[in-house]
C-alpha cells in the first residue's frame, strides 16, 4: 500500500475496482443512507474526520442528490489535504434548476456545466482538468479533477 488515504463518497464503485483500490490505498467508503460491508454511514455535509486527512476524494453522480451542495463541497475541501485531488462527475442540464423537494431520481437540482464548475471553484478548489462525456445519448455528464492548493 502507498499509505495514501482515499475517500469514496457514494460513488457506486463496482466491487472489483473497490478491491483493487483497497489493495493499493487506505480507502474509506461513506454513504449517507446505508452502512455495512465496508461502507460507513455518514452525512456528506458533516464528516467526522479531522481537517486535511485525505489525499484523494472521489464522487460520481452524488452532488445533485445532496440538499446542501455548498456545505458538502466545503466539507470536502476541509477534509482534503493541501495538494490533494477531488474527482467528481455530474449529469448536466441545459439550465440550472433548484428544487424544494428532490425529483423521482432524488435530484435536488440540475446543473449547467458553468454552475457546477463555479460551485467547485467558489469553494476554494483549482480545477485542473475537465472532461465531458456520455455513455447514454440522452444524458450528458461532465467530470473534473480539482486540487486543493
Mean pLDDT of the chain: 86
pLDDT in tens, 96-111: 888 889 898 888 999 9
As a whole number of angstroms, the distance between CA 20 and CA 24 comes to: 7
Structure confidence at residue 90 (pLDDT): 87
What does the block give as the cell for 111?
Answer: 446543473
Name the maximum alpha-carbon separation found in the chain. 44
Structure confidence at residue 21 (pLDDT): 73
DSSP summary character for residue 125 = -
Structure confidence at residue 135 (pLDDT): 65
Can you give the pTM of this predicted structure?
Answer: 0.86
Spell out, as residue ranges, where the chain has pLDDT lower than 50: none
Give the DSSP H/E element, type plus range, for residue 129. strand 126-136
Amino acid at each position: 500500500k502507498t499509505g495514501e488515504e482515499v475517500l469514496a463518497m457514494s460513488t457506486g464503485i463496482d466491487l472489483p475496482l473497490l478491491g483493487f483500490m483497497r489493495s493499493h490505498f487506505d480507502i474509506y467508503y461513506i454513504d449517507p443512507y446505508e452502512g455495512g460491508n465496508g461502507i460507513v454511514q455518514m452525512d456528506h455535509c458533516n464528516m467526522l474526520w479531522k481537517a486535511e486527512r485525505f489525499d484523494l476524494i472521489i464522487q460520481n453522480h452524488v452532488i445533485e442528490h445532496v440538499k446542501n451542495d455548498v456545505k458538502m463541497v466545503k466539507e470536502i475541501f476541509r477534509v482534503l489535504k493541501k495538494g490533494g485531488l477531488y474527482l467528481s462527475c455530474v449529469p448536466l442540464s441545459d439550465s440550472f434548476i433548484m428544487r424544494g423537494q428532490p425529483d423521482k431520481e432524488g435530484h435536488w437540482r440540475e446543473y449547467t456545466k458553468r454552475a457546477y464548475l463555479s460551485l467547485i471553484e467558489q469553494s476554494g478548489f483549482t480545477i485542473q482538468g475537465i472532461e465531458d462525456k456520455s455513455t447514454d445519448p440522452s444524458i450528458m455528464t461532465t467530470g473534473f479533477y480539482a486540487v486543493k492548493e
